[in-house]
Chain A
Amino acid sequence: MSEGCSGSCGTCPSGSTCDSTDRLPPGMLEHYNVSADTRKGVLVFIQTEEGSLDDSAAGILTLARNISDDRVFATVFGGIEVKELFGEIFSFGVDTLYHMRNRDRGYRPRSWARAFMDVAERVNAAVLLFPDTCIGEELAALCAAEADAGICVRCTDPKMDNGMIIARKDLGTRIAEVRFMYRPAVMVPSAEGLPAPVSDPDRKGTVINRPFNMEE
């Protein structure tokens, strides 16, 4: 019953004398807020070069571990040769690694972007991180378009501040703060601004084999 109501306000059930016990328990309205964004965690695209990790992979995985509000997911595309990299990838803090497999080993931007976005939707990631490389930038552009998400290319100092994803961008003459108003956020951190890699060789994780379709 609303404050000052004597039971005739029209909002209380007829014939009842409602009191405070009829109200929802504290927090339940927030719990049932279906508009709230439930995306959490970070998904990283790991680029490989001839069976070894790209130069930026260690830095970008460490960054993902630093900014993540939940789990760190990663994808690596390739055949059986990338299995040797799993230990190294987990040492940088990845919890779950998706091994994206296809008989065609070639780089197909649209197929890879679609496969990456399938994983992003599955894990419900809040941040999608790509390396500052030609392939990384292309995939970031395609994934942002696919997800209708905000993008920031060659950003620095990405972080989560009170639930908001923020990064800085050098605009040439000045620096701007890029605030993502919605999730997911697609980011390509600048290669120069990555943190020093932090590795723990004892760290373990889960690998999920995931075949994907190459049709464009």
Chain B
Amino acid sequence: MITIKNESDTTEAESYEGVRILLLTGSEMDPNAAGAALKLKRITEGKVAVAILDPSGESLKDADATYYLDDPDFADSDCRATGRIASVLIKRIFPCDYVVCGTSSREGTSSSLAARIAKAHDMVPVFNVSAIDRSDDGSLRIIRNNEEESVTWKAVFSVSEGDWPEAAVESREGRHLNRIDIGLGVYSMGIKGSKVRIVEVGGDV
């Protein structure tokens, strides 16, 4: 069953002064990325916002805010342009401490997107994370590629399979943002802001 909720708490999440987490997702929710975002929310007691790069996508039941990036000009964005859209969203709408990438452009991966957001905001890129926990010193203890590492602050994660909590998905009303809302020029996104063009050449796989 799909429930439609009002996003009366979006403003509260935007002005929250504790830890803020942003989950980036596309038309389909990546269960690993969603689980990682929920785990971060639990161990940091923060607020999580879901930014959906496709208006047909769904949000999380436990999300504190939902954003739909809904503009025809966003179509056909490559990894570079998608990174710009996400970076401007973080800069102008939802500044956050942790970003979990659960989507990408067609030619890239979630790691490609994570690297661009990390570079734009001087955050630490952490790839292929399979577990996150809290250390005694307050930092995050993560496991990636079967090795343990520590992350202190401001990180962008791409997530692989792991023992993540199950995340319930639901449709939410959310806040719809177009390019004017986030303040992006037409040459920063879509085909005009992309370094690659993707042309379908036909032929089913």
CB of B119 to closest CB in A, whole Å: 4
Q: Which of B31-39, B45-53, B189-197 contacts A (4 or more CB under 8 A)?
A: B189-197
Q: Is B200 an interface residue (CB 8 A)?
A: yes
**Contact present for A178 and B196 (CB under 8 Å):** yes
**Contact present for A150 and B79 (CB under 8 Å):** yes
- A109: chain B residues within 8 A (beta carbon): 125, 127
**Contact present for B197 and A179 (CB under 8 Å):** yes
**Contact present for A169 and B106 (CB under 8 Å):** yes
Chain A residue at smallest Cβ distance from B127: A138
Chain A 158-188: CB-based contact to B (< 8 A → 1; otherwise 0): 0000000000111111111111111001000
Complex Cα–Cα for A108 and B111 (A): 16
A residues contacting the other copy or chain, number (CB 8 A): 34
**Contact present for B201 and A151 (CB under 8 Å):** no
**Contact present for B111 and A172 (CB under 8 Å):** no
A residues 95-113 touching B (CB-CB < 8 Å): 109-110
CB of A47 to closest CB in B, whole Å: 13
CB of A165 to closest CB in B, whole Å: 9
B residues contacting the other copy or chain, number (CB 8 A): 31
User: B79 contacts which of A110, A151, A179, A181 (Cβ < 8 Å)?
Assistant: A151
Q: Is A207 an interface residue (CB 8 A)?
A: no
User: A180 contacts which of B115, B195, B202 (Cβ < 8 Å)?
Assistant: B195
User: A145 contacts which of B78, B116, B196 (Cβ < 8 Å)?
Assistant: B116
Given known A-B contacts A150-B78, A177-B198, A179-B197, A170 and B205 have beta carbons under 8 A apart: yes
**Contact present for A178 and B201 (CB under 8 Å):** no
**Contact present for A152 and B111 (CB under 8 Å):** no
CB of A116 to closest CB in B, whole Å: 13
Q: Is A88 an interface residue (CB 8 A)?
A: no
Chain A 31-73: CB-based contact to B (< 8 A → 1; otherwise 0): 0000000000000000000000000000000000000000000
Chain B residue at smallest Cβ distance from A153: B109
**Contact present for B195 and A145 (CB under 8 Å):** no
Chain B residue at smallest Cβ distance from A113: B115
- B204: chain A residues within 8 A (beta carbon): 173-174
- B119: chain A residues within 8 A (beta carbon): 145-146
Q: Is B114 an interface residue (CB 8 A)?
A: yes
CB of B8 to closest CB in A, whole Å: 36
Q: Which residues of B contact A (CB under 8 A)?
A: 78-80, 83, 106-109, 111-112, 114-116, 118-119, 125, 127-128, 145, 194-205
